[in-house]
Structure 1
């Protein structure tokens, strides 16, 4: 049986929940399809020591502040998982678990969504699948001949798993720095980065990064192409474990190596380092394979967007994949505004389509859904004032 909500949200992590919050406020009929069996999105798969970059009050989804975690300035991943589960329950968001979406097709006035649990038809789709399921591994020569263990950030959990080993951590971003700091005390660590690591000042955290991303987006929207002045803070947030390892002289980065061989890594100048394990902290790509049937990718594999809306398929919105789908939209605090904008555009699209169908006699004299915040607030569980 094909189900027909007005909107299908694909992904039940932070971006999908933020979209659900705003769709509920606007009185839109929707469902959230999530491939995971439990709430929490990618946060439930993070390494044990992972903490947010910002205090709880500055890491909240729209409508509900994240409570602080006792004894922690920066909440850990388990606290975020609990917050997301509570958020979903608080707003009674219609999440269907274990519904892994395989494909989205055009189907006349609808988009047809095929999942392993069934088929849906919707007037609009919000794709909010994130990046965690698409880890990126660079094409470094020798990767296939190295006889030690290789894993990506997604496979790392705790330093005890590597105690006493010779470990190469590759990557100069936040995940690389945090995992290198995690391993610095218990392993023979070599931290490798493409360029010298750039640390933010110790008193700067995720709040400043959000402000920078917002300023950069505003500059681009105003037609200014030179945004270096608002975006040149650095790459690595000096959270306490990173700062402590750095100050103890345990986070000394080496330049990127040339290749791997059976037993380790080799640099262009002939130096080498033996290794038992290589951990690739080399980032992610958007998980968008379910959108392939729509044929939206350009020559570089990028889907063109205007805000969150796909330029070549206005019934589709992409949310939470990075700055190209909204300033800091891959963060808890940053996803609220683009989620609100996407929900409003979709509500307007649905209203226009309803009026068109009535005009052409395709539906009877049924009043359109009133897309007003009040229709949600009267049914909220419980009523909460939005913070975004």
Structure 2
């Protein structure tokens, strides 16, 4: 069935909901298409111990403060899911699920959004699919030789699943540090990072990171020297579990190994580490396959944007993929401003 609206938002997680809030305030007709069966976006898939970097008051979408969680300074992922579900209901956002978008196409003056159920036509589209659904695994020699288990961050749930096992965690970002801290007490842990891990000061939280990222974007927009933003502070937020494991000497990182072997991994100097399982905390790539028919992606996989607007297809906005679509736009607190800007630009064009 062919359907029509003013704006199609692809993705019903935090970025899609923030876009919906601002579109609703501007009086636009829109639909949010979400591939998940229930509200909460990628937070529904998070590991059991995952907590936000910041207190609830500094982790909110536009229009509604996140309630505090009893017994927690920084809410856990389950609390975030409940907040997003309530947010969607509170503002009566028109989310249709489960709907999987298969492709966005040019169709005269409109964009045509093909899904596994209906076809939508709209003069504007906001893509807000995030990165969680496209985990990145590096090409390391020896993958077929390793006889143990291998999984990515997206598949990790609890340290109880690995009790007593020899576990190698690969990755020096926040996910790697948090999962390594999770596993430090009841596994034989080896933590491996590409570069020596850099912990942020213990008092740095998500609000401070958002402020730093915003200041960097302002400096770049004004032609001033690049402050390097969050990268100038370090790479790992010292949330309480990470801080505790670090202070007990349990987070000693080894440099990246050169290959996988049958029983574990091997470094270039010939040393080995045995492993029953390897957990790859090696990041994500933008989930953009649905935009392939528009042929907008550059050599590095990103779509050129000015703010959130695609340079070579101004009817398309990208929201929530990282700093290239707005300062800290992949965070709860950071996505509100670029969502507002995208909605305003669309409203101006439509008027």
Partner of 1:85, secondary structure, is helix
Q: Which residue pairs with 1:240 in the alignment?
A: 240
Deviation at 1:226, TM superposition (A): 3.0
Q: Which residue pairs with 1:67 in the alignment?
A: 67
2:47 matched to 1:47?
yes
Q: Which residue pairs with 1:24 in the alignment?
A: 24
Deviation at 1:340, TM superposition (A): 0.1
Query: Does the 8 Å CA contact 2:216/2:226 hold for their aligned counterparts?
Result: no
Query: Does the 8 Å CA contact 1:212/1:231 hold for their aligned counterparts?
Result: no
Q: Which runs of 5+ in 1 are unaligned?
A: 352-388
Query: Does the 8 Å CA contact 1:33/1:97 hold for their aligned counterparts?
Result: yes
Question: Structure 1 stretch 141-150 or stretch 185-194: which is displaced more?
Answer: 141-150
Deviation at 1:224, TM superposition (A): 2.5
Tell me the distance in 1 between the aligned counterparts of 2:10 and 2:187: 40
Deviations 1:114-147 (A, max 9, x none): 1111110011000000001000000011112211
Q: Which residue pairs with 2:144 in the alignment?
A: 144
Tell me the distance in 2 between the aligned counterparts of 1:214 and 1:25: 24
Tell me the distance in 1 between the aligned counterparts of 2:38 and 2:173: 28
Tell me the distance in 2 between the aligned counterparts of 1:324 and 1:249: 36
Deviation at 1:302, TM superposition (A): 2.0
Q: Which residue pairs with 1:372 in the alignment?
A: none
Partner of 2:79, secondary structure, is helix
Query: Does the 8 Å CA contact 2:212/2:229 hold for their aligned counterparts?
Result: no
Query: Does the 8 Å CA contact 2:9/2:128 hold for their aligned counterparts?
Result: yes
Tell me the distance in 2 between the aligned counterparts of 1:23 and 1:318: 15
Deviation at 1:301, TM superposition (A): 2.4
State TM-score, norm by structure 2.
0.99
Deviations 1:291-332 (A, max 9, x none): 000011123322100000000000000000000000000000
Structure 1 residues 344 and 66, CA gap change in structure 2 (3 angstroms): same
Q: Which residue pairs with 2:103 in the alignment?
A: 103
Is the radius of gyration larger for structure 1 or structure 2? 1
Taking the TM superposition and a 5 Å limit, the aligned residue runs for 1:308-387 are: 308-351=308-351
Tell me the distance in 2 between the aligned counterparts of 1:233 and 1:226: 14
2:169 matched to 1:169?
yes
Q: Which runs of 5+ in 2 are unaligned?
A: none
Tell me the distance in 1 between the aligned counterparts of 2:201 and 2:246: 13
Question: Structure 1 stretch 86-95 or stretch 300-309: which is displaced more?
Answer: 300-309
Deviation at 1:97, TM superposition (A): 0.6
Tell me the distance in 2 between the aligned counterparts of 1:124 and 1:226: 33
Deviations 1:347-371 (A, max 9, x none): 01111xxxxxxxxxxxxxxxxxxxx
Tell me the distance in 1 between the aligned counterparts of 2:194 and 2:127: 32
Tell me the distance in 1 between the aligned counterparts of 2:264 and 2:207: 39
Deviation at 1:225, TM superposition (A): 4.4
Q: How many residue pairs get matched?
A: 351
Q: Which residue pairs with 2:270 in the alignment?
A: 270
Tell me the distance in 2 between the aligned counterparts of 1:225 and 1:298: 26
Partner of 1:112, secondary structure, is strand
Query: Does the 8 Å CA contact 1:216/1:231 hold for their aligned counterparts?
Result: no
State TM-score, norm by structure 1.
0.89
Taking the TM superposition and a 5 Å limit, the aligned residue runs for 1:243-262 are: 243-262=243-262
Tell me the distance in 1 between the aligned counterparts of 2:335 and 2:314: 20
Query: Does the 8 Å CA contact 2:215/2:229 hold for their aligned counterparts?
Result: no
Structure 1 residues 143 and 272, CA gap change in structure 2 (3 angstroms): same
Query: Does the 8 Å CA contact 1:13/1:42 hold for their aligned counterparts?
Result: yes
> Root-mean-square deviation (CA), in Å?
0.9
Question: Structure 1 stretch 196-205 or stretch 338-347: which is displaced more?
Answer: 196-205
Query: Does the 8 Å CA contact 1:128/1:321 hold for their aligned counterparts?
Result: yes
Query: Does the 8 Å CA contact 1:181/1:245 hold for their aligned counterparts?
Result: yes
Query: Does the 8 Å CA contact 1:286/1:321 hold for their aligned counterparts?
Result: yes
Tell me the distance in 2 between the aligned counterparts of 1:252 and 1:76: 26
Tell me the distance in 2 between the aligned counterparts of 1:348 and 1:76: 38
Partner of 1:236, secondary structure, is coil
Structure 1 residues 156 and 231, CA gap change in structure 2 (3 angstroms): closer
Q: Which residue pairs with 2:118 in the alignment?
A: 118
Q: Which residue pairs with 1:12 in the alignment?
A: 12
